[in-house]
A = this chain, B = another copy of it.
Amino acid sequence: MHIWDAEVRVRYGETDKMGIVYYANYFNWFEIGRTEFFRSLGMSYRDLEEKDVMLPVIEAHCKYFSSASYDDMIIIRTRLEFVTGTRIKFLYEIIRKDDGKLLAQGHTEHPFTDSTRKPINLKKVLPEVYQMLLECVQ
């Protein structure tokens, strides 16, 4: 199983009037998590898109346990729950680096499509990428 930790620092504009990070911004972090997950495998999500493979989101979920504050260093821990020829599901943990506290936990699910958003089968289109992702699950 492959797990990847990316790091971001909380931006001022990501906070809201409660003084903590606005809940929608966690989904931006999830996206950084999967981008860096791909990079950790030696490929970039940008390259995938240039090969006409897209991962639009069909489901997104987040549970919030504690809040992140301005200037906190945040760890985005990403791994795969599964990958098939047509779908992929990422799991995320949002952790405050200072004290290791788990702030949130979530997932996103994505079909593989081309740039016209027609479903494709990754196993056929990019078998070596599919294989690499499959090995990340086990």
Contact = CB atoms under 8 A, between A and B. Distances in A.
Interface size class of A (residues with CB under 8 A): 35 or more
B70 A23 contact: no
Contacts of A15: 16-17
Interface in A33-47: 35, 44-46
A52 to B, nearest CB: 12
Interface in A1-31: 9, 11-13, 15-20, 22-25, 27-28, 31
Interface stretch (A57-65, A80-88, A124-132): A57-65
Copies of this chain in the oligomer: 4
Contacts of A58: 63-65
A12 B11 CA distance: 16
Contact of A23 (B44, B57, B63): B57
A28 B65 CA distance: 20
Per CB-CB distance, the 10 closest pairs between chain A and chain B, nearest first, are A24-B27, A15-B17, A23-B57, A46-B71, A13-B22, A17-B19, A61-B61, A60-B62, A15-B16, A58-B64
